[in-house]
Amino acid sequence: MLKRLYHSSSHIGSNTIINNNLIESKIFNNAIKLIPKYGFSKNCINESIKNLKYSDSLQSIISWQSDKSYEFQLMLYFLKQKRQELENFTKNTKVEGVDEYEKLSKLIKYRLSLNSPIINELSQGMSQLILPYNLNESIDELYNLSDDLAFYSGDKSHSFDWYAKRFTIGSIYVKSELFMLNDTSENFENTQEFVDKKIDEFKMLSDTYNNIEQWAIFNGISLINLIKSQLIRG
Amino acid sequence: MSKQYFIRQFSSSIRNYSSAKLNSSQIQYGPLSKAQQAFLDRIIRVDQAGELGANYIYMGQYFVLSSKYPHLKPVLKHMWDQEIHHHNTFNRLQVEKRVRPSLLTPLWKLGAIGMGMGTALISKEAAMACTVAVETVIGNHYNQQLRILMNQYNVDLINKETGEKVEKDDLESVKLNTSPELAELKNNISTFRDEELEHLDTAIEHDAEKAVPYILLTEGIKLICKGAIWSAERV
Ligand SMILES: [Fe+2]
Ligand SMILES: [Fe+2]
């Protein structure tokens, strides 16, 4: 659990999310562009290899990487790539806000906006994440995202609230993403409103230390059930 | 082989000829290995928890003893202030280096304040014996960490301009061998270790050894501290 490591400031390259020089990164990066056409599928990866004029045998590179299905690997790579884009965003833009919560809300909205090119295929990708044998890696990646969101928004907690915060941010993110799947408003305005509302609740509750703990525990239980019911409906 | 040998000789003689030693702005430190990162992660988590414990132990002692024994007030306050500084330093590092704090932090707070107040309520000598035990364990622990940081943190240095590996002799100063990040950490740990050992001396000067039963008290507390360190590194 929680396998995130010490972040170094002097030792460049200790904490890279994605190494774009690797051949499999090139295949995945190109495949993500093809998702609107082929979906989160094995075929999408094959088409990407063809498209790059690589030899068909390179498919095996992907299966050497892990014993997971191509579909799941593509989804996981997509999540890491977007997390990398979020990191680049925070390096190039100063995220303004009166407090941590306002910054957090902006960061979540930015991350969600990266879903829009593939919004019609997203539920297909997400259903890969909640398969029981994929759940561990999915939760690790969700935790990485919440930790990034907490850090970029300026979190400075040292105690149990550190855990409660990451947990709550993760669940707000997932709920907002599920909301986005069915949102037909222009520029996903309704989703943005939804994020603001959830962050307001979070801010109100975290004024009391005990409440945030209880709230996080309650949310944890209902979250997995919520994801399942939403994906079946959607 | 001979050809390569000549190339190497040649390039190193050019290097010596130009004799421009590299300064800090010209070099870059290579990445840390996963194992090196994992150890730093643990160091910061356990030291943060340890200094939190020390901070709360002195808080408990101060609360009980400062009004009863006015002459101890400045002594305790001085040590407590140093612990607050140690604790704040690791809090800052935990946030900056994005280290997960110990999940048991609420428990450390309770335990430490209980240990501080509890021993102080027995007697002022028992409180000092508690300090002896805690500082002995922490001092040793810091020494172990320093040994590993000295010996197992060699990374490649890269010339920013050429992208080539830099040899140690080409550096302006041997100090550049260690990144500012690790130098700062080692510096903090060794300063703190020295201060912990001062606390140990202070406690002995204030009759820690007269506490009854001294051995039982100190050995018991040492065991508790070692158990706490073991858990805080992991959980
Ligand atoms: Fe200390
Ligand atoms: Fe101390």
Kindly report the average pLDDT of chain B as a whole number: 88
Residues A133, A174 within the same domain? yes
Q: Which of B105, B152, B158, B176 to mutate to probe the A interface, most A CBs <10 Å?
A: B105
Whole-structure pTM value: 0.85
The radius of gyration of chain B's CA atoms, rounded to the nearest angstrom, is 23
Is residue A54 one of the residues assigned to a domain? yes
Q: Could you tell me the distance, in angstroms and rounded to a whole number, from the CA of residue B135 to the centre of ligand 1? A: 8
CB B203 within 8 A of CB B129: yes
Q: Mind telling me how many Å the CA of B21 is from chain A's nearest CA? A: 20
- Which pLDDT belongs to residue A228? 65
Residue range B40-98, pLDDT digits in tens: 999 999 999 999 999 999 999 998 998 899 999 999 999 999 999 999 999 999 999 99
pLDDT band at B210 (very low <50, low <70, confident <90, very high): confident
- Which pLDDT belongs to residue A224? 60
Residues A65, A135 within the same domain? no
Is residue A6 one of the residues assigned to a domain? no
- Write the DSSP symbol of residue A13: T
Who among B34, B98, B155 is closest to A11 (CB)? B155
- Which pLDDT belongs to residue A196? 97
- Which pLDDT belongs to residue B163? 84
Residues A177, A127 within the same domain? yes
Q: Could you tell me the distance, in angstroms and rounded to a whole number, from the CA of residue B68 to the centre of ligand 2? A: 22
Residues A104, A219 within the same domain? yes
- Which pLDDT belongs to residue A58? 81
Q: What angle, rounded to 10 degrees, do the helices at B34-65 and B124-151 form?
A: 160
pLDDT band at A135 (very low <50, low <70, confident <90, very high): confident
Contact A2 B180 (CB under 8 A): no
Residues A123, A224 within the same domain? yes
Rounded Cα–Cα distance for residues A181 and B147 (Å): 54
pLDDT at residue B10 tops 60: no
Contact A8 B37 (CB under 8 A): yes
Structure-token pair, residue B64: 């009980």
pLDDT band at B1 (very low <50, low <70, confident <90, very high): very low
- Which pLDDT belongs to residue B8? 61
Residues A109, A223 within the same domain? yes
Neighbour tally for A18: CB within 10 Å: 16
**B28 compared with A61, residue with greater pLDDT:** B28
pLDDT at residue A126 tops 70: yes
Residues A62, A145 within the same domain? no
Tell me if chain A has a CB within 8 Å of the CB of B70: no
* Residue of chain A nearest B41, judged by CA positions: A6
CB A125 within 8 A of CB A40: yes
Q: Could you tell me the distance, in angstroms and rounded to a whole number, from the CA of residue A5 to the centre of ligand 2? A: 28
Q: What is the mean pLDDT of residues B215-226?
A: 87
Percent of the residues in chain A that have a pLDDT greater than 90, as a whole number: 61
B51 assigned binding-site residue:
yes
- Which pLDDT belongs to residue A2? 53
- Which pLDDT belongs to residue A212? 55
Tell me if chain A has a CB within 8 Å of the CB of B152: no
Provide, as residue numbers in chain A, all residues whose Cβ is less than 8 Å from the Cβ of B105.
158-160
Contact B97 A7 (CB under 8 A): yes
- In terms of phi and psi (left: phi > 0; alpha: psi -120 to 50; beta: otherwise), the region of B21 is beta
pLDDT at residue B162 tops 90: no
Residue range A11-37, pLDDT digits in tens: 988 888 999 989 999 999 999 999 999
- Which pLDDT belongs to residue A80? 96
Residue range A59-108, pLDDT digits in tens: 887 877 788 899 999 999 999 999 999 999 999 999 999 999 999 999 99
Q: Establish whether the linkage from the previous residue to B213 is cis, with ω within 30° of 0.
A: yes
DSSP 3-state assignment of A220? helix
- Which pLDDT belongs to residue A213? 53
Q: Is the dihedral of CA B100, A74, A107, A105 positive or negative?
A: negative
* Residue of chain B nearest A163, judged by CA positions: B103
**A225 compared with B235, residue with greater pLDDT:** B235
Q: What is the mean pLDDT of residues B13-40?
A: 80
Contact residues, B window 21-60, toward A, CB-based 8 Å cutoff: 28-32, 34, 37-38, 40-41, 44, 48
- Which pLDDT belongs to residue B7? 59
Q: Give DSSP secondary structure letters for chain B.
A: -HHHHHHHHHHHHHHHHH---B-GGGEEEPPPPHHHHHHHHHHHHHHHHHHHHHHHHHHHHHHHHTTT-GGGHHHHHHHHHHHHHHHHHHHHHHHHTTPPPPTTHHHHHHHHHHHHHHHHHH-HHHHHHHHHHHHHHHHHHHHHHHHHHHHS----EEETTT-PBPPGGGBSSGGGGS-HHHHHHHHHHHHHHHHHHHHHHHHHHTTGGGSTTHHHHHHHHHHHHHHHHHHHHH-
Contact A12 B31 (CB under 8 A): yes
Structure-token pair, residue B99: 């280290």
Rounded Cα–Cα distance for residues B17 and B20 (Å): 8
Q: Could you tell me the distance, in angstroms and rounded to a whole number, from the CA of residue B229 to the centre of ligand 2? A: 15
Structure-token pair, residue B33: 């290995």
CB B205 within 8 A of CB B116: no
* Residue of chain A nearest B29, judged by CA positions: A11
- Which pLDDT belongs to residue B126? 93
Percent of the residues in chain B that have a pLDDT greater than 90, as a whole number: 57
Lowest mean pLDDT among A60-64, A112-116, B6-10: B6-10
pLDDT at residue A220 tops 60: no
pLDDT band at B167 (very low <50, low <70, confident <90, very high): confident
Is residue A10 one of the residues assigned to a domain? no
Residue range B103-139, pLDDT digits in tens: 888 888 888 988 999 999 999 999 999 999 999 999 9
Percent of the residues in chain A that have a pLDDT greater than 70, as a whole number: 86
pLDDT at residue A41 tops 50: yes
Neighbour tally for B96: CB within 10 Å: 14
Provide, as residue numbers in chain B, all residues whose Cβ is less than 8 Å from the Cβ of A12.
28-31
**A192 compared with B222, residue with greater pLDDT:** A192
Give the ligand at the shortest distance from the Cα of B79: 2
Contact A5 B41 (CB under 8 A): yes
pLDDT at residue A234 tops 50: no
Is residue A11 one of the residues assigned to a domain? no
- In terms of phi and psi (left: phi > 0; alpha: psi -120 to 50; beta: otherwise), the region of B39 is alpha
Residues A132, A75 within the same domain? no
| Total structural domains within chain A | 2
* Residue of chain A nearest B92, judged by CA positions: A156
Tell me if chain A has a CB within 8 Å of the CB of B209: no
Provide, as residue numbers in chain B, all residues whose Cβ is less than 8 Å from the Cβ of A144.
none
Rounded Cα–Cα distance for residues B192 and B118 (Å): 25
Which of A85, A105, A126 marks a domain boundary?
A85
Q: Mind telling me how many Å the CA of A43 is from chain B's nearest CA? A: 34
B181 assigned binding-site residue:
no
Residues A79, A114 within the same domain? no
Q: Which of B37, B28, B33, B36 is CA-nearest to residue B165?
A: B28
Residues A200, A105 within the same domain? yes
Range of the domain at A37: 19-85
State which H helix or E strand residue A203 sits in: helix A189-206
| Cα torsion through A128, A131, A137, A139, rounded to 10 | 100
DSSP 3-state assignment of A11? strand
Q: Could you tell me whether strands B157-159 and B27-29 are parallel, antiparallel, or unpaired per DSSP bridges?
A: antiparallel
* Residue of chain B nearest A157, judged by CA positions: B95
